[in-house]
Amino acid sequence: MNPVSPICLADLAPALRWSKPEPVTTESYLGHHRLGDAWWHTLPLARVLEIAGSTWLAANLARLAVEQWEHLSLREALPSLHSTPVDINEIGEPVRSAILRTAGDWDTLVDTPLTTLRAWSLPPSCGVVDVVSTVMLRVVQPFGTPGTGGTVPSPALMQEALRTVSGWVPTEAPQHVHDALNYLTDAVGSPPASEAPPPSSRAIRTLRALRNQRDEEPRTARPERSSALRGPDGSLRRPAFSPARPGGSSPEQPHPTPDVSAPYAGAAPPAEHPLVDRVDSVVRSWSAPQRLLASQRLFAAEPVSIRDLAHQYSLDVAQLRSAQRDVEDRLLRWLSSPEGAPLATHLRTVDEQLGVATTVDQLVAAHSEHTVEVPALGVPLWRVLLVLFTDRRAQDGWLITGDPGQLRWQTRQLLAGQPSMAEATMRLTQLGIRHPVAHAWIASTPGVSIRDDYVHLDSPPTAEPSPDGRTVPPVAAPAATPEPRSPTTSNGLPIRRRTEGRSQQPARVSTSAQCFRAPDGRWWHRVDVTADQLNGAPVGVPQGYAAHLGLGPGQLLCLTGPGADLIVLVWRDAPAFDSLRPLLRRLDARPGDHVFLTVDGDRLDARRLAAADVPEHPPTSRALHLIGYTAPASTEEALEIILRRISETDQTGPVEVNRVLELLERRGDSDIAGELRPALYATR
């Protein structure tokens, strides 16, 4: 097959032409952060396989067929199967055995309606998507790079296997192991966890939980806790490989399912632990769903999504979302009350004691109660404090206040001149880095090494541009002082200040810059990626968008992002994401890229549009890129699309050019208006 064939996926699968676009565009099916809207109608299939890979396409197309085209057979959905004979011995295990056990041969398989195929009794190791994705691979693979022969494995099982291995590899593994894993990820096209098919894989969650527990918990606490992979005696259990399947059962239930309708009746903490007792007492007053959210989502090492909790405990999703808001609000009110003042004071004391950079081990060791478990939550106190320190960002095992990249750069500037370790430790106190972690901080700073008890820079310090574009000259040992801390509550709780007495109502999302309504009704916010954001800086959002999500001044919203990352949107003096660094890294974002974010309940979805090739597009296409639309369109069509995406309802009738430009300028989208004007003048 010619690799530059103009055939698109809709030509190969005609069912796409009459399928509803809304479900198809989701990340569970054919949505991809590197592919544009409705790419299956316009983008050559060879180019799709170069970008996303045949494994990704086969697996996601299989899920779409099984769940949306169940009235069709595979041969009806993919007419090219009429001329695609297949030797059953070329199919890899366990799919081959599953086909022989059920269909008996290839022709019967592809001629069977999908609704019948779903009812077949398939073995536990191979589900219907695994079988169908193997068929899809045989159809799409000829449009990509020619294969090397041999048996063909199931693309869905390949993705699941790679996600399992990714969750198992520890962060301290040698670099060549991570390089090999990254190579396999690119080759297989394995998507992040947000693109994985529901239900989520229990194996992935337990593997990641074990890794986080091993990396973050103190060694003395590890034998006291068990996980889904380790028994009470510490012996390693073998995890299930396949994701949990509807109607199936998990091989083992590591923890008993709590009765979420019953009041908490656990044992109270010992009287000699006053801080733990205060936290436990307030948690005991919460409802059962609120305690469930606190223990398995807000303070958990591996936060569980609300949808998974609702499915696991047979609860209503809307009830859990409401309970989450109540938990956050009640926690904030309690910390600002006289009853919560001792913990708020403790937080301020520990925050000052740890300095601007610390490790989890230092946090654990900062107080004798930090390792004590809060009975009503089932987590140690230090995990509760870790969540409450919202001004600290986790990076490479460190908890850092402020911009991690800026702090590393300041460190290199301070350590110029080959100071002794004693002198270097004294210099770092100017930045707020305390003596107990100074040696570890220096050793972990890129471009710095310690030899013979002296600190050496691998290269002379260089100037670095500041956020406003000016060049900051290098200095040997500046008399620097830590940047002012963020606002605090009356009890000193960092960044948790609640704004009072503001009568001004926030703007609507439809009048907010960089906010656009998709055809399915969801509003997306565009983030123009900067180097500071890639280093962990907060990412501001318009007040109208925050209000659209139900957020108000002094409130925060905890969201589950791709890869089960916990992302916090907090309204301090203005609404902002505390940090999007893990998400931007997962999307492989670069400065200048556009990342579009949307929130559905407790889940944050993201899509990246690379900026590298945008200058090559005409002005109309560049304007459409700024609203997240990538399909070709004429100037008249572009005006209609933009007007619909900045309006709360679909607009009908003739589109007035001046009205669209005026709305864009009023919203603050002057960049879109600026791209449109040359195209409008050219058509007049």
The β-bridge partners of 570 are 556, 576
Lowest mean pLDDT, pick from 85-94, 107-116, 312-321, 508-517: 85-94
The mean per-residue pLDDT over the stretch 627-646 comes to 87
Q: Which of 609, 631, 657 is the last residue of a domain?
A: 609
Do residues 104 and 130 share a domain?
yes
- Tokens 């959210």 sit at which residue? 293
In tens, the pLDDT along 558-599 reads: 888 887 777 888 887 788 998 898 889 888 888 889 999 999
CA-CA distance, 481 to 275, in Å (whole number)? 32
Q: Are 329 and 303 in contact (CB under 8 A)?
A: no
Do residues 431 and 534 share a domain?
no
For the entire predicted model, the pTM comes to: 0.39
DSSP state of 69: -
Residue 485 lies in a domain: no
Long-range Cβ pairs for the range 361-370 (8 Å, 24+)? 361/218, 362/436, 362/437, 363/399, 364/217, 364/218, 365/218, 367/275, 369/273, 369/274, 369/275, 369/276
* Number of independent structural domains in the chain: 4
Do residues 27 and 138 share a domain?
yes
CATH number of the domain enclosing 527: 2.40.330.10
CA-CA distance, 346 to 107, in Å (whole number)? 70
Secondary structure element (H or E) that encloses residue 358, with its range: strand 357-359
Do residues 528 and 620 share a domain?
no
Secondary structure element (H or E) that encloses residue 330, with its range: helix 317-335
The 3-state DSSP class for residue 524 equals strand
Do residues 585 and 654 share a domain?
no
The mean per-residue pLDDT over the stretch 512-527 comes to 92
Q: Which of 144, 175, 206 is the last residue of a domain?
A: 175
Phi first, then psi: give them for residue 247, nearest 5 degrees. 85, -10
User: What is the token pair recorded at 70?
Assistant: 């169940």
The amino acid present at 174, given as its one-letter code, is P
In tens, the pLDDT along 370-387 reads: 999 999 888 899 989 888
The 3-state DSSP class for residue 94 equals coil
Q: Which of 585, 609, 633 is the last residue of a domain?
A: 609
Residue 400 lies in a domain: yes
Q: Are 113 and 140 in contact (CB under 8 A)?
A: no
CA-CA distance, 658 to 656, in Å (whole number)? 6
User: What is the token pair recorded at 682?
Assistant: 């050219």
Longest CA–CA span in the chain (Å) reads 81
Do residues 643 and 585 share a domain?
no
Phi first, then psi: give them for residue 108, nearest 5 degrees. -65, -40
The mean per-residue pLDDT over the stretch 620-626 comes to 88
Residue 287 lies in a domain: no
| pLDDT at residue 207, as a whole number | 35
Residue 480 lies in a domain: no
In tens, the pLDDT along 338-374 reads: 888 899 889 888 888 888 899 888 888 889 899 999 9
Do residues 640 and 595 share a domain?
no
Do residues 565 and 416 share a domain?
no
Residue whose C-alpha is closest to residue 57's, from 65, 534, 566, 394: 65
Residue 105 lies in a domain: yes
| Torsion angle of C-alpha atoms 622, 625, 631, 632, degrees rounded to 10 | -10
In tens, the pLDDT along 195-237 reads: 433 353 333 333 333 344 434 433 333 333 333 323 333 333 3
DSSP state of 481: -
Do residues 29 and 147 share a domain?
yes
Structural domain of residue 152, as residue ranges?
9-175
